[in-house]
Structure 1
Amino acid sequence: MARRHSGDVCGVHAIADAFGPAARPLTIGLEEELMLLDPVTLDLTPCAADVLERLKGDPRYVPEQPAAQLEIVVPPAATVGEAIAELAVARVDLARVVDGLARLAGGGVHPFAAGLGAVAPGARYAALLEEYGDGVMRRQLAFGLHVHVALGGPGRVLPVYDALREELPAIAALAAASPFYEGVDTGLASFRPKLAELLPRQGVPPELPSWDAYAEALRWPARSFADACWWWELRPHPVHGTLEVRVADTQTTVADTAAVAAVVHALVATLAERHDAGELPAPAPTWRIAENRWSACRHGVRGTWTDPRTGLTRPMAARLHDLLDALAPAAERLCCASELEAARDLVERPRAESARALGPQGLAAAAAARFLAPTPSPRTDILPGDLVD
């Protein structure tokens, strides 16, 4: 799902066409941003252009703004299992291609790399440098997992989008796994959102009451880069015709990626069903969702969740277990029940805590060692015993 654009993607009719019946309902696609590591030091190494040359145009792999980052693109699949199988193969194939040049790792932020990195070549990235500045763009060493779900028609998309906004902190907490920055423990479960916030249009997205409002958002300001720089943690994607959830850290293993993807898939399906039944509430205020976002960033699953309507606060872990219970029927219908159940392990054994126990150097070594860990696996987190290659 590379960010390529053609035609007028900002017109209301073009958007309606993108989200029309051609987009098969509830298919799921994945985008995984990966670290390229020096084979010896495990520091970030800006060799994406060399890797892409070796890949010879393989459409599964696309460049990103950091020169030490490469993205795997998994096209729409009927189930999480099918998408994860494609991702696992893509990881293996990529590891084979980069052998001798780099190693690969998943994670939200590299644990000890310098904060300023090289920017990939290309006209688009040069334009971003010009717009936002060298000191900002070179700090975008953030690695995310993006999950796309198609709803099969424009009628459901914006109501589900508005409802999904308030669940973004729960997904972020579940996937939080990047406590270190430049070798220092930040005290956060995930530092990645802080790097993203150096740029505009980040974090909790605004309400979108209509397609006219969405088209206007894409057109404003006229000098902007349209949806290519509409970087909210959730967006209706006008090219792919999907809801794109962009809130999760890249996961170390494909097994953990499967768990996060299953939560998103089942959640979108559940909200779509509630919309069809006329049961979705009015959109929650953005600033209240942002309060939960901060707790997820700071504490992950050990934080709190505050109901954006009643103000009642409870442990995020309890909120997540209740959410997984509520999503189980949809997961069963979507054939991702086992992957959804695996998400409970992310609640009980937070990956940010496992990462913190290893320290910056140990985390980099463990992430590289487990890049090709099989899925499913009975133990999917990063532990000291995993450091053996």
Structure 2
Amino acid sequence: MTRTVGVEEEFLLVQNRSPFLAAEGERVVAQAERSAAHDSEGNFDQEFMQQQAELGTAPHASIEDLLADLRGRRAALAEAARSRGVRLVPSATSPLDEDVTTTADERYERMTRAFGRVAMAQLACGMHVHVSIASPEEGVAVLDRIRGRLPLLRALSANSPFLAGEDTGYASYRTVLWGQWPTAGVPDVFGSVEEYERVRAGLVASGAALDEAMICFDARLSARYPTVEVRACDVCADAEDAGTIAALIRAMVSTAAEDAAAGVEAPPIRSDLLRAATWRAARWGMEDRLVEPLTGDLVGAWDLVDDLLDDVASALKESGDEMLVREGLARIRERGTGARQQREARREGGFGAVVDDLVGRT
């Protein structure tokens, strides 16, 4: 089975020649939809905050095709932003101010009433990777078997060290902000579709989620598509990093599905240990040791990457993505994650240089 993969990315909008965010999301998205030549399966969309804009690719069997689609949509959204006198910034939190305006939408208004300050703090931009599945049963089996690797994906994509003109000390401060939602994080093993649906319905009934779309697990069954949706990652500064991570996630999904079909049990990883692993990934990214999910030991971050590559080697070869992923990971290892790049830009020229560098990467 050749699994398709698609990517959704969220971006900040920043005023030109001014250190402030721009409440232009609705108009930027409308302009992108009018002017871009794109197929009907992809999209541009508004986000919770007017200071954000989102794109979504079509599903692709080829990572090269996915990257071409992603670059084209980034370029179209960036041009739409320029037409409104603003800039598109691929950072998972704002290095500038936090002055936000919610998008006029009845559902967003209900979210604000229900969750208060937690909702208003969510100026956070993620990357969501969708990988096709044969059935919900296969999807739940995949979720149960990839949960231990989700903190490592967060570390690889870490791209949010700053918030409102301050260094947070984290590589992915988006993780901290997003973790305030009551349904966020890595859930327990489900074991069946029936249990997944029971948990989902219980969270909605409790008020912790307004609807199925507000199930904020780090990985979930998509509410709209026949896919597993991995939501652990920060938006990447570089499209090439997004393609590398998307290919790696597809290999993880394929490997997990094959393991489930062969009767391999889901790894018995405690959720409290995964919370610790998630915190450490958010705090340090790839710059320090991370938690080995089965043992709880602290090991080198890149040793965990090597272990993951060993686990998914067969799937990467079958999809033809082995060289693409290995070369992409080597680039991240050499120059660092987005968090390291943002900090280097700040040392060279302050937060203005951070924004300029990020804008250039779109």
TM-score, L = length of structure 1? 0.84
Q: Give the whole-Å Cα distance in 1 for the aligned partners of 2:265 and 2:140.
A: 12
Q: Which moved more, 1:170-179 or 1:235-244?
A: 235-244
Task: Give the aligned partner of residue 368 of structure 1.
Answer: 359
Q: Which moved more, 1:357-366 or 1:292-301?
A: 357-366
* SS of aligned partner of 1:141: coil
The 3 A distance-change label for structure 1 pair 318 and 349 is farther
Task: Give the aligned partner of residue 68 of structure 1.
Answer: 51
* Pairing 1:256–2:238 present: no
Q: Which moved more, 1:352-361 or 1:295-304?
A: 352-361
> Percent identity between the aligned chains?
28
For the aligned residue pairs, the C-alpha RMSD in angstroms reads 1.9
Deviation, structure 1 residue 209:
2.0
1:228 aligned to which of 205, 213, 217:
213
Task: Give the aligned partner of residue 289 of structure 2.
Answer: 304
1:166 aligned to which of 145, 148, 154:
148
Q: Give the whole-Å Cα distance in 1 for the aligned partners of 2:332 and 2:20.
A: 26
Assess if the C-alpha contact under 8 Å between 1:162 and 1:283 holds in 2. no
* Pairing 1:123–2:106 present: yes
Assess if the C-alpha contact under 8 Å between 1:110 and 1:364 holds in 2. no
Deviation, structure 1 residue 296:
0.3
Assess if the C-alpha contact under 8 Å between 1:234 and 1:246 holds in 2. yes
Q: What are the superposed Cα offsets for residues 128-150 of structure 1, whole Å, 9 maximum, x if unpaired?
A: 111111x3222111000000111
Q: What are the superposed Cα offsets for residues 143-172 of structure 1, whole Å, 9 maximum, x if unpaired?
A: 000001112123322221111111001101
Deviation, structure 1 residue 98:
2.5
**Structure 2: any 5+ residue segments left out of the alignment?**
37-41
Q: What are the superposed Cα offsets for residues 336-358 of structure 1, whole Å, 9 maximum, x if unpaired?
A: 22331112322343222221121
Amino acid at match of 2:335: R
* Pairing 1:180–2:162 present: yes
* Pairing 1:50–2:41 present: no
TM-score, L = length of structure 2? 0.90
Amino acid at match of 1:346: I
Amino acid at match of 1:45: A
Amino acid at match of 1:367: L
Q: How does 1:1-389 map to 2 (within 5 A)?
A: 26-41=3-18, 43-56=20-33, 60-101=43-84, 102-114=86-98, 116-133=99-116, 135-220=117-202, 221-222=204-205, 224-341=209-326, 342-351=328-337, 352-359=339-346, 360-371=351-362
**Structure 1: any 5+ residue segments left out of the alignment?**
1-23, 372-389
Deviation, structure 1 residue 42:
5.2
The 3 A distance-change label for structure 1 pair 325 and 345 is farther
Q: Give the whole-Å Cα distance in 2 for the aligned partners of 1:160 and 1:78.
A: 19
Amino acid at match of 1:143: C
Deviation, structure 1 residue 174:
0.6
Q: Give the whole-Å Cα distance in 1 for the aligned partners of 2:139 and 2:105.
A: 33
* SS of aligned partner of 1:75: coil
Amino acid at match of 1:355: Q
The 3 A distance-change label for structure 1 pair 270 and 362 is same
Q: Give the whole-Å Cα distance in 2 for the aligned partners of 1:176 and 1:291.
A: 16
Deviation, structure 1 residue 361:
2.5
Deviation, structure 1 residue 332:
2.4
Deviation, structure 1 residue 90:
0.9
Deviation, structure 1 residue 96:
2.4
Deviation, structure 1 residue 281:
3.7
Assess if the C-alpha contact under 8 Å between 1:149 and 1:244 holds in 2. yes
Amino acid at match of 2:319: L
Number of matched pairs = 346
Deviation, structure 1 residue 239:
2.6
Task: Give the aligned partner of residue 5 of structure 1.
Answer: none
* SS of aligned partner of 2:220: strand
User: Which is richer in helix?
Assistant: 2
Q: What are the superposed Cα offsets for residues 14-52 of structure 1, whole Å, 9 maximum, x if unpaired?
A: xxxxxxxxxx86211110011112122253211011123
* SS of aligned partner of 2:333: helix
Assess if the C-alpha contact under 8 Å between 1:175 and 1:346 holds in 2. no
Amino acid at match of 1:157: G
Deviation, structure 1 residue 113:
2.1
* SS of aligned partner of 1:247: strand
* SS of aligned partner of 1:146: strand
